Chains A and B, each alone.
Chain A
């Protein structure tokens, strides 16, 4: 399915390590479509190709192989007992994946179609620099920008945490802390009246939980991930070892996030003095387990942040918040 093309269209694109989500204006609210940001190569067979066509699974063929990307790649990889390949790692293009750009382009085309209408503008999300690191993500940002520009879009970018603020905090005039817990990174942004004040990311996120749990339990990370999103919850009772280990790494991620928040707010040269408490909004696939918000809030209580927090809330649609915020940014241009 491709998107409807009208002149001056606006799109928001969450380019996440785990998922790529497209948001576009719709009635009464925005419309979203997403694809997993992964692919799997399988040996070519005519029968498989026909089956994929019949099921409308996005794929490409070449070099004696079928490359299945997007949502079906994970299930297929699970069936085949292998890990899907990932165009991105830790929030940026995967330096160890030679096909990252080509596969990313394929996923973009699957979501956006081939040719935009004149004047179409797209705003895509980029990760914030890692906390305490002088590095940046310029190469990633420029590459994604080039891919989208080559497709015919006018392109702007937005920090992932800020996009969450734009998506969820209109009631506080876009003032507050947006957190996106994705696959590769947790992105955080404190914004004041729509202006980003402090932004950073930490590398402990969904993939870290999956990989660490897989290592501790001997399971495939993909299998961990599928089970995690559908079954895991924070109620203190874990029926099996995988869930028990998951809880340990989730706790680790939450603690790292809260520690990072405290460190960033305490050490920021532009430490804000807002004179009032601000809300925190949680989004992304890693906040989906039941009880995550409550667990985060309870860890936060012990942290003694330099900025008072009025509430911790979960985004209305955690998987779509970044794309929604990116779309709002595109529309406000």
Chain B
């Protein structure tokens, strides 16, 4: 049997199978599961409808709840459910977080958050135009930018610094502090994020919240009403001094960082009324317009602790950069991303297929039309920015 990956979807299916297999502790049951999967895959390939069926298979796998697989075979053989877009449930916006005190060098909030405020950098004041999603989707090109300029952030992008990390041990204390200071100085110099959370869970304000930061230049996200392009302008950036880990038992951040991120997110969401589905990772929003691929950056492509931070699993949201603007993913991105994010990728791909069917176009033409839409929107935004 040839193992060749014709496209990202097929690759994703196999990675997904591998991930599920790893959750089967008994070696024989795991082997049985994989053999069945291979047999099913072979049958489907022979049937000549590989891509669609693989997508169905994967969707089936995604939608079957599976805290632990014990009888994996039956899962694969089960009826494929209809495709359903998995919408992450909205978590309630926290409302009761207030500033308790504000001495010169730090701020303390009512939920226990403490922010180190050491001369946060100034850049440009935030001013951006969101795109009216409904009008965009209905090709109302004359009016999708007929909206008021916004100045408050509408979401949060989570990053990792991908910097050098000494072992988190008492004997490494000096090295840990040195590394933390180095990263802080670097991100301050480059105005990289609004907040940095170091290895000890200390939260530093790097750039003022009212200003833009250089954290996600080519990037796209959307909620039910609005589409946001270039999230430097519209989203806050929170970075962890950490490296994204491949999916597995090891967490990329420690408990102190997790706690700090939770209370910081709570404060920011309460302050700006940020909906949970606008709390996303850099890997989800980052794009490369030159080749129309998603995932130009892969920080937090796997393992972001949405649930532990009181957020829904936003990895399962279909990526708007694919559904609205025809970006696609490749095996490189799949390799770097975790299986939870694959849900979003696959569902987005399905949305694109559905969109193509509705428009009676083949998929590649439909995708090309979405890409044209992206170029037009970017051009319109640039013109509006210049004229203003």
Contacts and interface: CB of A to CB of B under 8 A. Distances in A.
Interface stretch (A48-56, A60-68, A193-201, A232-240): A193-201
Contacts of A197: 1-3
Given A192-B3, A193-B38, A332 B17 contact: no
Interface in A231-279: 269-276
B4 interface: yes
A328 B5 CA distance: 28
B1 A270 contact: yes
A269 B22 CA distance: 29
A109 interface: no
A221 interface: no
B336 to A, nearest CB: 10
A76 interface: no
B4 A273 contact: yes
B335 A276 contact: yes
A166 interface: yes
B44 to A, nearest CB: 14
Nearest to A324: B27
Q: Please classify the interface of chain A as helix (H, G, I), strand (E, B), loop, or mixed, using the class held by over half of its residues.
A: loop
Given A193-B14, A193-B18, A274 B28 contact: no
Interface in B22-43: 22, 27-32, 34-35, 37-38
Interface string B160-188: 00000000000000000000000000000
A270 B27 CA distance: 27
B342 to A, nearest CB: 14
Interface string B318-352: 00000000000001101100000000000000000
Contacts of B22: 173
A332 B32 contact: yes
Nearest to A194: B34
Place the interface of chain B in its size category: 20 to 34
Contacts, number: 63
Contacts of B34: 173-174, 193-195
Contact of B31 (A196, A271, A272, A329): A329
Contacts of A97: none
Interface in A148-202: 166, 170, 173-175, 192-197
Contact of B331 (A192, A269, A275, A331): A275
Q: Please classify the interface of chain B as helix (H, G, I), strand (E, B), loop, or mixed, using the class held by over half of its residues.
A: helix
B27 A194 contact: no
Interface string B349-387: 000000000000000000000000000000000000000
A271 B2 CA distance: 7
B195 interface: no
Given A193-B21, A193-B38, A275-B335, A332 B31 contact: yes
Contacts of B18: 173, 175, 193
B2 A269 contact: yes
Contacts of A173: 18, 21-22, 30, 34
B221 interface: no
A269 B2 CA distance: 8
Contacts of B28: 328, 331-332
B204 interface: no
Contacts of B331: 275
Nearest to B35: A194
Contacts of A331: 28
Interface of B: 1-5, 11, 14, 17-18, 21-22, 27-32, 34-35, 37-38, 331-332, 334-335
9 contacts: A174-B31, A193-B18, A193-B38, A194-B31, A272-B3, A272-B4, A275-B5, A332-B28, A332-B32
Given A269-B2, A332-B31, 4 more contacts: A170-B27, A174-B34, A175-B18, A332-B29
> Lowest 8 A-B CB distances belong to which pairs?
A270-B2, A194-B34, A170-B27, A332-B32, A272-B3, A332-B31, A331-B28, A195-B38
